Chains A and B, each alone.
Chain A
Amino acid sequence: MIPSFAVLQVEAPHFHMPRLWLPLFLLWIPALLISPIVFIVIYGLSMAGRISPWRAIAVFWSILCGFPGTHVHVSTQESKVLVRIL
């Protein structure tokens, strides 16, 4: 499953940002539109590196699909950063 939402929250002593829900699924449409160009670039780079372009695409796709569930939370006494990918 590719990422559909990202949650971002930053708190600092003089800066407070409300928790943001970023709809990543809205990026799918432009990504789909530019996918032929991306494919050509990946194909060219793979040929230059003498690796299979299909393998490269499979690895990048698995990385993209691996992001959901990522959670990073760093907090100190005065500040806090939260990043979640759903």
Chain B
Amino acid sequence: MNENRRQILEMLAAGKITADEAEKLLTALEPDAAATAAEFAGKLPGSGPQSQSAAKARAKYLRVLVEADEKGKPTTVNVRVPMQLLRAGVRLASLIPMQAHDELDATLSKHGIPLTLSQIKPENLEELIDHLEDLSVDVDAKEEKAKVRVFCE
């Protein structure tokens, strides 16, 4: 039990304060208690990713940054896509008639994209966002160097 809470209850038991006064004092303590609990929860192992996940749930944009150096010529690409647009895009897949799914899957596979359209669901996107903390890919080719960063913000 919290020390302040104990003191209030002891004062109530000793008759120094009334029940109403004790209630007011306990109520006044509550924000501190909530803050302390939140602070404590933040120190618990495993609570970090939860708070990060909550932060990512609020992510509004997907950002893709590419910094490439092609034969000494620097090229930068900065793309910011709203999450709302990505979600809508995923929902667009649900409009494709079921009859067309198999044909599309086969055509995509033939072109080196092993994708199953029926498995694209909005939940998958949320899962991807959860796992997409800060992805960074370094590409080293013979005369080209590129760094690709993908993250949510």
Contacts and interface: CB of A to CB of B under 8 A. Distances in A.
B119 interface: no
Interface stretch (A9-17, A21-29, A54-62): A54-62
A69 interface: yes
Interface residues of B, number: 23
Interface residues of A, number: 21
Given A51-B95, A55-B95, A66 B87 contact: yes
B82 A68 contact: yes
Given A49-B95, A56-B95, A76-B75, A71 B89 contact: no
Contacts, number: 65
The residue among B74, B91, B97 with the most chain A CB atoms within 10 A of its own CB is: B91
Interface of A: 49-51, 55-56, 59, 62-63, 65-77
Q: Closest 9 A-B residue pairs measured CB to CB?
A: A66-B85, A62-B88, A71-B80, A66-B84, A69-B82, A63-B88, A73-B78, A66-B88, A49-B97
9 contacts: A49-B95, A50-B97, A59-B95, A63-B88, A67-B85, A69-B84, A70-B82, A72-B79, A73-B77
